[in-house]
Amino acid sequence: MIRRRSLAAAAFSAAALLLAACAPTPPAAPPPPPPAPVVTGPEEISERTLLTMAADLAFPPGGYNLTRAGRAKLDEIVPALQILQHAKIVVYGYTDDHPVGRALKAKGIVDNLDLSSKRANEVVRYLLSKAVDPNIISAKGRGGTHPVASNDTRQGRSQNRRIEVLVETPMS
C-alpha cells in the first residue's frame, strides 16, 4: 500500500510537472502608458507700440479722413511695417467721452465707437495703400474706453483722442 501511494505520488508529481510545462505562460505585464503629451500654454506674445498719434493731428475736428500731417506721421513707420513677417499689426482708434455732434450724426456716425472705428479703418486703408501686408493688419475702434487722461479737462480729452499702432510678434 505504501508502495502504491509512493507510485501514485510520483505519478501525480510527474503529471503536475508535465501539465505545468505544457501550460501557456502567463501574459506579460502590459507596457506602461506613453507619457502625456506636453501641453503648452498660449504662445507668448511680444507687444510693442510702434506709434501713438494724436487724433487731433491725424484727423480734422469731428472727422475721420486723414490729414496731410497724419499721413506724414504714418509715413515714418511704413518702412518698419512693410518688412514685418509672422507679426500682427493692430490699429486702435480712441475718442474722448463727449458724444458725437450733429454734424457727425448727419454723416451717419452713431457714437464714439463708430467714430473711433472709422478712424482706425482709415489708418489701415492708408497703410495698405503703402504696401503693408493685408494679412497681418486689422483695425479696432474702442470709442471712449481706455482713456489715458481725465476727460474732465480739454487737455485730457485731447490726449484721449488718439490712434495707436501696435505690433504683436511671437516670442522665440
Determine, yes or no, domain membership for 31.
no
Tell me the average pLDDT across 115-126: 97
Contact predicate 136/88, CB 8 Å? yes
Determine, yes or no, domain membership for 130.
yes
Residue pLDDT, tens place only, 137-164: 999 999 999 999 999 999 999 999 999 9
104: CATH: 3.30.1330.60
Determine, yes or no, domain membership for 18.
no
Determine, yes or no, domain membership for 33.
no
Report the number of distinct structural domains present in the chain: 1
Determine, yes or no, domain membership for 164.
yes
Determine, yes or no, domain membership for 163.
yes
Determine, yes or no, domain membership for 38.
no
Distance (Å, whole) CA 64 – CA 111: 13
Determine, yes or no, domain membership for 13.
no
Q: Give the pLDDT band (50/70/90) at residue 4.
A: low
**Residue-range definition of the domain harbouring residue 104:** 52-170
pLDDT of residue 157: 92
Q: Is 25 helix (H, G, I), strand (E, B) or coil?
A: coil
Contact predicate 160/145, CB 8 Å? no
